[in-house]
Each structure stands twice: as structure tokens, then as C-alpha cells.
Amino acid sequence: MIVTVTLNAAVDRTLTVPNFQFGHRHRASNSLTSAGGKGINVARALKRLETPVIATGLAGGRAGDRIVEDLGLEGILSDFVRISDESRTSIAVVDPTAGALTEVYEWGPAVRPEELQMLSDKLHYLSRVASFVVFCGSLPRDVENDFYAQAIHDLTRRGIKCVLDCEGEPLRLGVEAEPYLVSPNQQEAESLVGQEFMDEEDFVMALDTIADLGARNVLITQETACFALVREERRVQRFRASIPRVEPIAPVGAGDVLLAGYLSGRFNGRSVGDALRTAVGCAAASVVELGAGRFDPREASRLADGVEVVELAAVEA
């Protein structure tokens, strides 16, 4: 199965507020509260794709109870380490009239060393049945920036394919640990590479640069598109997968869904091209649904038929 790891799990509350303006009183036209955090979003999407998945990580307090309970209600297997401090709550305000999204994230709980050790022990146990272990999202307080890097080193030595999707210093250190796949969004990739991407050549350069830093495979995600570098059978290939623009309602979590779609395709033995079509189709279907990680699999399949996958040439030095 696929194991997702969310250290900074959250209770996510998404509010739909037409014509949202700062400093004014509003009444939400719709709301949704559910378990959240990038790894949980990936697990939710994998569940919708009928790919076996178990979600683990850290959960504490009443918010942690709610996270674990909500996952059970969604039929998502989970095995979280319970911690003493309270898990965070996150709020997203979606304004459908302006196509705007405003997000407010709490920092998250303080984590004790013994709680982190319990999580490491659990990862050793769960990885015995894992095809991929997917590390996602920010680190809570008192967790060192090299946590992902150390975990990737440990699991890779035992033949486990590790996937990393985070930002900042944990991303930089994690890439150097040589994960099987790293999946930053465009902004995160720009920060890692040290420049903005203006055209296709910039993305291809970024794929190669991130691979040179240590990642075996690279997926740079956008709302409804991606660039990929794939090493397979001693070959290195670069791809762009895209779809005509889909008018978004709530784009939050689209990159998580795209990653889940790609992993599902590869887990089920599909070609790189088919996996990328599935990934972009799922991401496109997710931006018209409220709530991260949610999409209609039938709509995703329909949209996948319209995804264009193009192999790209390397950029000459």
C-alpha cells in the first residue's frame, strides 16, 4: 500500500463567502469541516482512486480526536501517534465571485522527542507493507528541519521508495537525502532553485537542477498542469502535462491531488504518460469541488482524456 505521513495534521474549515472583503461582516453560503494537512489530502485522493493507503502522523487533543474520527468516517485507514499538545486548525475562505482564496494556518503543536521517536518506530512498522512512503507538509514546533531527511535516509536504506512534498529548509535537506520522488509546487521549486520560472526552458532547467541536488524523480506541480523528470530503465525523460484551463471554485489542495493521481497510476503499473494524465485530470476535477483532496473520479477520468503529455528536450548548458 501507500503510506502518507502528516506531522502537522489539522482540522480544516473551508468557508464559501461571496464578495469577501476585509474589515466587513459576512455570512458564509457554505462550509465544510474535515481532517486536513497535505498528507491527509493525498490519502483522501488515493482513497477516491481506490488505491490502498494508510495515513499516519501526529495528532493531539480534541482537534486530534476530530482528525482521526473524520478519517474513519471517510473510510480512510489511519494509525496516528497521539501527542499531548493540541493539533492545529486551519481556515480557508473561498470567494467564488472573485476566484480568490484566503488561507489562515495555525503553527501547530509542540512535539516532544519521545513522541517523534514513537512516530519513527511506527514508520518502521508500516513501511514493511509500503510501496511508497509519502512525507507531506510543514513541520510542527520543536521538530528539526532535517526530520524528513533523516527519515528518508533510513527508509531508503531499507529499499523503501520515499516521496517528499514540503517547502523551505525541510525541502532542501530532504532533496539532499535522495528521495525517490520530490513534488514541489512552482513557488516551492523556484525557492529551491533560486530563480523564477518564466518559460518552459526554466521549468526544464529546474527539473534537472533538483535532480542534480539528489532527487531521483521530480514533479513540479501547478493547479492543473505539471512538469516531470522521470528516471526509468537508465533513461531520463522530461515531460509537460497540461489541460485547457478549468475555472476554479476552490483550488486549495490541487497539488496534493495531482501527486496522489500520479502515485496511484505508478502504483498500479501504468506508464508515465498515463500516470501524468490521471494526475492532471484529478487535479483539474478537484479545483471545482469544495474541500482539499476531494474530486469526482468520473469527472477526473473524463478530464484526463483531454490532457496533453509532451516529452521535452533537455536544456543545453
Spans of all domains in the chain? 2-312
With H, G, I as helix, E, B as strand and everything else as coil, classify residue 95.
strand
Report the C-alpha gap between 185 and 222 in whole angstroms.
Answer: 6
**Which band of pLDDT confidence, cut at 50, 70 and 90, is reported for residue 41?**
very high
E strand or H helix at 269, and its extent?
Answer: none
Mean pLDDT for the chain overall: 94
φ/ψ of 264, rounded to 5, equals -60, -45
pLDDT of residue 223: 78
Q: CA of 227: how far to CAs of 126, 186, 302, in Å?
A: 30, 10, 21
**pLDDT the model gives residue 267:** 96
> Residues 82-112: pLDDT tens digits?
999 999 999 989 888 887 888 898 888 999 9
For residue range 161-172, what is the model confidence (pLDDT) as tens digits?
999 999 999 999
Tell me, what's the pLDDT at 290? 79
Q: What integer pLDDT is reported at residue 317 of this predicted model?
A: 57
Q: Which residues share a beta bridge with 238?
A: 229, 312
What number is the average pLDDT over the span 15-22?
A: 90
Q: In terms of pLDDT, which residue wins out, 232 or 226?
A: 226
What residue type is 186 in one-letter code? Q
The CATH class given to the 2-312 domain equals alpha beta
Question: What pTM did the predictor assign?
Answer: 0.94
Question: Rounded to an integer, what distance in angstroms lies between the CA atom of residue 25 and that of residue 50?
Answer: 42
Where residue 48 falls among pLDDT bands split at 50, 70, 90? very high
Which of the residue ranges 148-162, 196-210, 221-235 would you say has the lowest mean pLDDT?
221-235
pLDDT per residue as tens digits for the range 230-241: 998 889 999 999
The per-residue pLDDT for range 255-304, each reduced to its tens digit, is: 999 999 999 999 999 999 999 999 999 999 998 887 888 999 999 999 99
Q: How confident is the model over 57-85, as a mean pLDDT?
A: 97
316 confidence band (pLDDT: 50, 70, 90): low
pLDDT of residue 224: 81
Distance CA 113, CA 119 (A): 10
Average pLDDT over residues 187-209: 95
* Cβ pair 277, 226 in contact under 8 A: no
